[in-house]
Amino acid sequence: MTTASVPQPLPRTADNQLLADAGAGTRVELRAVVKEFGATRVLHGVDLDVAPGEFVSLLGPSGCGKTTALRVLAGLEHATAGVVAFGGVDVSRVPTDKRDIGMVFQAYSLFPHLRVLDNVAFGLRRRGVAASAARRRSGDGLDLVGLGHLADRYPHQLSGGQQQRVALARALVTEPRVLLLDEPLSALDAKVRVQLRDEIRRIQLRLGMTTVFVTHDQEEALAVSDRIAVMDAGRIEQIGTPEALYLAPATPRVAAFVGISSVIPGTVVGDLVRVWGTTLPVQGDAPAGAVDVLVRPENVRFGGEGAVPGIVEESTFLGSFRRTLVRTEDGALVQLQHDAHARVEYGDRVEVSLRAQPVTVRTRA
């Protein structure tokens, strides 16, 4: 398992009690966790080790088991087999409200009849915190997410992004050992999603809080994570830093989820691979013989040395660039990311080649 560089929290400060009270995070583990619903096995011996203060994303398609794994961590589901540990202590049978976690869901789950400040204070009051202390800490939490000026509003008076910030503040003010986020951005529009994504990461770095984040969006995972665990069919396919997964995906499924969209046949000789009309260095291990070459869109270009003919199947304008699909003469479907001014249309005949960059290869199935 890759060892992550864990960000350290900022020094304690007197002007924000929430920051002053924040801990350094807690180690979180799933050990050989199995989860079954009746005769259906959803998790197949999942192992996950999150270092104190680390931000780990569970990335995968719908139905891969990522939310179930998070719910097992939270105690909302009990593992059929295996161990859940916080700080080295088995908490597998500890109730959710005793695990000292904060959780944010896709749905904001705010109380419509309570003002924003009282929504944030709700968990504190349930824990027996005095009203004055709860209000002070809730105010600190709202300041942390940039909503201190909206403390007296009701949820229906807020935008979706603001409501999710309130939900985040509510999760943080109890000063949990672990923060669990279950696709908290998926209901927001694109611009707000990016803003809140970056804000969550900034806050996590400031507090040094151990965080597990569930998402199906590879861009989100790449942007915020210390490490990413790519899941498929109830198993972790690969776990590593965003850079490691992007540059050296272990399987085609991992490649697809971290932005490598083209698979091209090639032949390895020594530590080089022959693909189309050129020879390229191989990233990592290079099994001899016939292989699949995994190629990122930015490493494909029009023309160039060793270019092969193909036909444009799709070209999409995305503002500063275009994303184009080309079917080459050997049947490979390759994706290019290129300048928006280089306009091509469906059915155009073009030539494409690979840039002289190291590539990842896998034995051809």
Let me know: does 247 contact 56? Beta carbons within 8 Å. Answer: no
- Please tell me the distance from the alpha carbon of residue 88 to that of residue 73, in angstroms, as a whole number: 14
Q: Which SS3 state, helix, strand or coil, does residue 234 take? A: coil
Could you count the other beta carbons within 10 Å of the beta carbon of residue 13? 11
- Please tell me the distance from the alpha carbon of residue 113 to that of residue 101, in angstroms, as a whole number: 25
Q: What is the pLDDT of residues 153-190, one digit of tens each?
A: 999 999 999 999 999 999 999 889 999 999 999 888 88
Q: Which two tokens stand for residue 39?
A: 């005769």
Let me know: does 81 contact 32? Beta carbons within 8 Å. Answer: yes
Q: Tell me the mean pLDDT in the region 118-132.
A: 91
In the predicted model, is pLDDT for residue 356 greater than 50? yes
Percent of the chain with pLDDT over 90: 66
In the predicted model, is pLDDT for residue 10 greater than 60? no
CATH code matching the domain that covers 260-363, chosen among 2.40.50.140, 3.30.365.10, 3.90.580.10, 1.10.287.470: 2.40.50.140
In the predicted model, is pLDDT for residue 328 greater than 90? yes
Give how far Cα 341 sits from Cα of 80, 320, 344, 345, Å: 55, 9, 9, 12
In the predicted model, is pLDDT for residue 62 greater than 60? yes
Per-residue DSSP letter, 97: G
Q: Could you tell me the fold of the domain covering 17-248?
A: Rossmann fold (3.40.50)
Q: Which two tokens stand for residue 120?
A: 């944030």
In the predicted model, is pLDDT for residue 3 greater than 60? no
Predicted local distance difference test score (pLDDT) of residue 90: 96
Q: Do domains 17-248 and 260-363 have the same CATH topology?
A: no
Q: What predicted TM-score, i.e. pTM, was given to this entire model?
A: 0.82
In the predicted model, is pLDDT for residue 132 greater than 50? yes
Q: What is the pLDDT of residues 219-243, one digit of tens each?
A: 999 999 999 999 999 999 999 999 9
Boundaries of every domain in the chain: 17-248, 260-363
- Please tell me the distance from the alpha carbon of residue 334 to that of residue 313, in angstroms, as a whole number: 10
In the predicted model, is pLDDT for residue 135 greater than 60? yes
The DSSP bridge pattern shows strands 55-59 and 227-232 to be parallel
